């Protein structure tokens, strides 16, 4: 094998999208993925694509990504299932109404097209299936959702067309560093020499970073996910809640796909042949109740699948996207904290910039790993930025 310029660890949406951005420019890229593309968060995800509810530091990235999504299917030559039906973030109590009002004020001031829907009639004019008990909502018409498996497959296939190689079912065991430079990676099958390595390993990123003393502080909570059999069209926007305790959307194939908030992970994960995390019975029951209270028709649907997903949650719920200052050629993309799917098209462009040594096209100060050691992140409302 000719030595690649860049090795990417992880075949989730970040790894696959970065592979495409690099390969289409002629860089020699190898993606090493322990299981299969989208085997972890990028397959477990709700796959909401939103700008609303983002932390101000992440808003420019999210807005740039949302601008990219409509053209993506044509650029990749395959469907992504992207649709733009908006995002409704619901207030179910007076307290939540205050949260939503502040969100709309702050994000409108930041230039986002976000409307405050005052009263149940206003909310149901956008989503008639929402419960009559919902008090108000924010509505961002330019948000939407996509098909995560189709999107990751589209990125992978397009990257392969441009010459990227995918080594699937193979784990990177270590990153080789000589002096202060990356010189290669060692997998459980081979050594691959390279000039740069992008670590996009999701909840496992620290397996490779900690031996290099570059740990990203991560907590790993669990999210319960349910998917129903197809039901008639009833929900265009993605639904979320002021306290992020659920999210829901209707896939283009009619299935409802709903998620819980972030909960304690019991620690068990099977991994043969792909990782499987099973939610608790209690978690499933609570998710059903929470979703059905906001979207009563959910109760009548037939459940087709139940699973759980893990989040790579940082203390301020913002990711780390950086060229590690300590080691030349090492790029870190970790800690997407339950909302890395929607921004991935733009994240991949930034990772491309970092991997080839160009100045990043957006400011990345908020995403430096060093912010944690400097005491950054204090006072941020991580809850609002959670998935959905
Ligand atoms: C239930 C749930 C709901 C979510 N909802 C949303 C949402 O609505 N909107 C949104 O924007 N985001 C959402 N997210 C978050 C989003 O899905 C993730 O942020 C995103 O998919 C992360 O992509 P990734 O490529 O960084 O990581 P992953 O998809 O986790 O990919 C990492 C890959 O790296 C591989 N890997 C790890 N270590 C190694 C190694 N040493 N060698 C080889 N391979 C390795 C893993 O096998 C894995 O496939 C949600 C996440 C979950 C779990």
- Looking at the structure, tell me whether residues 260 and 303 fall in a common domain: yes
Cα(122) to centroid(ligand 1), Å: 35
- Looking at the structure, tell me whether residues 234 and 300 fall in a common domain: yes
Q: Do 160 and 24 touch, CB atoms closer than 8 A?
A: no
Cα(13) to centroid(ligand 1), Å: 7
SS3 233: coil
Token reading at 146: 């996509």
pLDDT of residue 381: 46
CATH number at 122 reads 3.30.9.10
Q: How far is Cα 2 from Cα 186, in angstroms, rounded to an integer?
A: 16
Residue 385 has pLDDT above 80, yes or no: no
Report how many domains make up the chain. 2
Residue 380 has pLDDT above 80, yes or no: no
Q: Is the CB of 387 under 6 A from ligand 1?
A: yes
- Looking at the structure, tell me whether residues 343 and 227 fall in a common domain: no
Q: What is the mean pLDDT of residues 334-350?
A: 98
pLDDT of residue 258: 98
pLDDT of residue 375: 82
Model pLDDT for residues 167-220, shown as the tens digit of each residue: 999 999 999 999 999 999 999 999 999 999 999 999 999 999 999 999 999 999
CATH number at 343 reads 3.50.50.60
Query: Which residues pair with residue 249 across a beta bridge?
Result: 257
- Looking at the structure, tell me whether residues 91 and 129 fall in a common domain: yes
pLDDT of residue 104: 97
Q: How far is Cα 340 from Cα 376, in angstroms, rounded to an integer?
A: 20
* Backbone region of residue 329 per phi and psi (left: phi > 0; alpha: psi in -120 to 50; beta: other values): left
Q: What is the mean pLDDT of residues 305-310?
A: 98
Cα(208) to centroid(ligand 1), Å: 16
Ligand 1 atom closest to the Cα of residue 171 is 42
- Looking at the structure, tell me whether residues 199 and 152 fall in a common domain: yes
User: Where residue 22 falls among pLDDT bands split at 50, 70, 90?
Assistant: very high
At 43, which helix (H) or strand (E)? helix 41-44
- Looking at the structure, tell me whether residues 57 and 107 fall in a common domain: no
- Residue 233 makes CB contacts below 8 A (sequence gap 6+) with 250, 254
Q: What is the mean pLDDT of residues 79-99?
A: 98
Q: What is the mean pLDDT of residues 228-234?
A: 98
Query: Which residues pair with residue 192 across a beta bridge?
Result: 185
Residue 107 has pLDDT above 80, yes or no: yes
Q: Is the CB of 143 under 6 A from ligand 1?
A: no
Cα(41) to centroid(ligand 1), Å: 3
Q: How far is Cα 2 from Cα 25, in angstroms, rounded to an integer?
A: 17
Token reading at 321: 């996207």
pLDDT of residue 384: 45
Q: How far is Cα 4 from Cα 18, in angstroms, rounded to an integer?
A: 14
Q: Is the CB of 69 under 6 A from ligand 1?
A: no
- Looking at the structure, tell me whether residues 238 and 283 fall in a common domain: yes
pLDDT of residue 378: 46
Domain closes at, from 310, 329, 348: 310
Domain that holds residue 57: 6-65+148-218+315-385
Omega within 30 of 0 (cis) for the link into 273: yes
- Looking at the structure, tell me whether residues 227 and 305 fall in a common domain: yes
Q: Which of 368, 11, 351, 335 is nearest to 167 (CA)?
A: 11
Q: What is the mean pLDDT of residues 290-301?
A: 98
- Looking at the structure, tell me whether residues 115 and 234 fall in a common domain: yes
Q: How far is Cα 107 from Cα 110, in angstroms, rounded to an integer?
A: 5
pLDDT of residue 106: 96
Q: Is the CB of 65 under 6 A from ligand 1?
A: no
**Domain presence at residue 70:** no
Model pLDDT for residues 232-286, shown as the tens digit of each residue: 999 999 999 999 999 999 999 999 999 999 999 999 999 889 999 999 999 999 9
């Amino acid at each position: 094998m000719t030595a690649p310029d860049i090795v990417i660890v992880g075949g989730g949406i970040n790894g696959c999208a970065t592979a495409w951005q690099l390969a289409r420019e002629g860089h020699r890229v190898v993606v090493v993925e322990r299981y299969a593309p989208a085997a972890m968060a990028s397959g477990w995800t709700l796959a909401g694509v939103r700008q609303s509810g983002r932390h101000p530091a992440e808003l420019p990235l999210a807005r740039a990504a949302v601008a990219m999504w409509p053209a993506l299917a044509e650029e990749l030559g395959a469907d992504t299932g992207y649709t733009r039906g908006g995002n409704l973030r619901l207030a179910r109590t007076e307290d939540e109404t205050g949260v939503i009002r502040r969100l709309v004020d702050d994000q409108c001031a930041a230039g986002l097209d976000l409307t405050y829907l005052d009263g149940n009639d206003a909310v149901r004019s956008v989503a008639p299936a929402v419960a009559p008990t919902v008090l108000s909502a924010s509505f961002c018409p330019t948000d939407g959702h996509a098909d995560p498996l189709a999107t990751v497959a589209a990125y992978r296939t397009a990257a392969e067309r441009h010459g990227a190689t995918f080594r699937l079912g193979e784990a990177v065991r270590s990153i080789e560093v000589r002096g202060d430079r990356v010189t290669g990676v060692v997998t459980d099958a081979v050594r691959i020499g390279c000039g740069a390595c992008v670590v996009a390993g999701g909840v496992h990123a620290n397996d490779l970073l900690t031996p290099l003393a570059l740990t990203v502080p991560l907590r790993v909570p669990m999210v319960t996910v349910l998917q129903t059999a197809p039901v008639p069209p009833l929900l265009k926007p993605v639904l979320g809640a002021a306290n992020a305790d659920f999210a829901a959307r209707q896939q283009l194939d009619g299935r409802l796909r709903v998620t819980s908030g972030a909960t304690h992970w019991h620690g068990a994960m099977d991994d043969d042949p792909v990782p499987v995390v099973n939610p608790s019975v209690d978690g499933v029951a609570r998710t059903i109740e929470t979703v059905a209270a906001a979207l009563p028709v959910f109760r009548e649907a037939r459940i087709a699948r139940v699973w759980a997903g893990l989040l790579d949650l940082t203390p301020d719920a913002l990711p780390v996207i950086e060229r590690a200052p300590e080691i030349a050629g090492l790029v870190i993309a970790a800690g997407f904290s339950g909302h890395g799917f929607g921004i991935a098209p733009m994240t991949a462009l930034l990772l491309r910039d970092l991997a080839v040594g160009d100045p990043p096209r957006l400011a990345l100060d908020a995403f430096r790993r060093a912010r944690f050691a400097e005491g950054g992140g204090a006072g941020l409302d991580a809850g609002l930025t959670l998935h959905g």
